[in-house]
Structure 1
Amino acid sequence: MNAILVVCVGNICRSPVAEAMLKAQFPGKQIWSAGLSALVGEPADPLAQSIAAEHGLDLSEHRAQQLTSWMCRQADLILVMENGHRQQLEQQHPLARGKIHCLGDLGVEDAFQIADPYRQPRAAFAAAHEAIRRGVSYWADRIRLLS
């Protein structure tokens, strides 16, 4: 499991944070993020950048990109933020179906969605950051077992 793709809607709030966290866990792996409706070329949201920086993550170089078929083919694992993202991806890229999972799928009883903090107050970004951290921690352990 060497290629990991993280997906959200705009690729400026949630997926850049998850990408940075995963890169910190797996510096030797290919990890990138994209959006289902990306704000192409835009930097990570300032609140996402600020909270990430407080946790030692630098999102300053991030620029949003649109999800492509190539990305879905290239990835060994695709992590999304919400069940709706998974459904949309499975519909648009049916061959990727088996490798698409929600970042918040921590098991049947512990599954959660990561709400989009876009245009919300700082508290929403902090909550999203913490949810992403929980999901990345769980998936990092699983990835290590599978690698």
Structure 2
Amino acid sequence: MKLDKIVVVCTGNICRSPMAEALLKSYIPNKEIYSAGLDVVNNDLQNQSPVEQAQLTASKYGLDISNHRATQLTTNMVNEMDLILVMTQEQIDQIAIRFPGCAQKTLLIGQWGGVGYIQDPLNQDLVTFEHCFNQLKKAVISWRDKLKAISQ
């Protein structure tokens, strides 16, 4: 099974998915990793930088997401990807509706290792962002291990 192109998806692509993208690139450098949001256009976030709390949290752990810009998830993008990682079951459901035929390659980023859903930290304090970051890190490490096992 070929899983070389991965997109991680959240709502606005300014908090969770940019942090997750940076973590995935750090832990799985041999894959093409992208991030996008389901409601970037609806929330008028196109080309926005990640929120300050996300940038500060990522920076604390040695990751720079300051050059990231919010991107809307598109049909072309989902069709090109081998794996779509999302934060919640609701996002799995939205992708199944908006992008028919992509449900089978859409999974929770927190599916393994007991992480589960990763709630949106938008408008929360740095402690909440750090908790989100640590959940994402645990999820990414689990995916790294799972992808390594699949490719062997």
Q: Is the structural similarity TM-score above 0.5?
A: yes
In structure 2, stretches of 5+ residues that fail to align are none
Q: Deviations over 1:58-107 (max 9, x none)?
A: 10110000000011111111000011011100111121111100111116
For 1:126 and 1:25, locate their aligned partners in 2 and report how far apart those are by CA, in whole Å: 18
- Identity among equivalent positions (%) equals 40
Please point out which of 26, 44, 50 is paired with 1:44.
50
Which stretch of structure 1 is more off in the superposition, 121-130 or 15-24?
121-130
In structure 1, the residue matched to 2:14 is 12
**How far apart are 1:112 and its partner, in Å?**
1.5
Q: Tell me whether 1:67 sits opposite 2:73 in the alignment.
A: yes
User: Match of 1:116?
Assistant: 120
Which AA in structure 2 matches 1:142?
K
Amino acid at match of 1:31: I
Under a length normalisation based on structure 1, what TM-score does the superposition of the two structures give? 0.94
Distance in 2 (CA, whole Å) between partners of 1:132 and 1:111 is: 8
Native 8 Å contact 2:115 2:138 kept in 1 = no
1:125 to 125, 129, 139: 129
Equivalent of residue 85 in structure 1, options 70, 91, 98: 91
- What SS does the aligned partner of 2:142 have? helix
Counterpart CA distance in 1 for 2:77 and 2:35 is 9
Preserved CA contact (<8 Å) 2:36 2:73:
yes
2: CA distance between counterparts of 1:111 and 1:124?
Answer: 15
Structure 1 unmatched ranges of 5 or more: none
Query: Alignment partner of 1:7: what SS?
Result: strand
Give the structure 2 partner of residue 2 of structure 1: 4
- Given that 2:47 and 2:70 are in contact with CA atoms closer than 8 Å, whether structure 1 keeps it comes out as yes
Correspondence 1:88-99 to 2 at 5 A = 88-99=94-105
**Between Structure 1 and Structure 2, how many residues are aligned?**
145
Match of 1:28 in 2: 30
TM-score under structure 2 normalisation?
0.91
Structure 2 counterpart SS, 1:58: coil
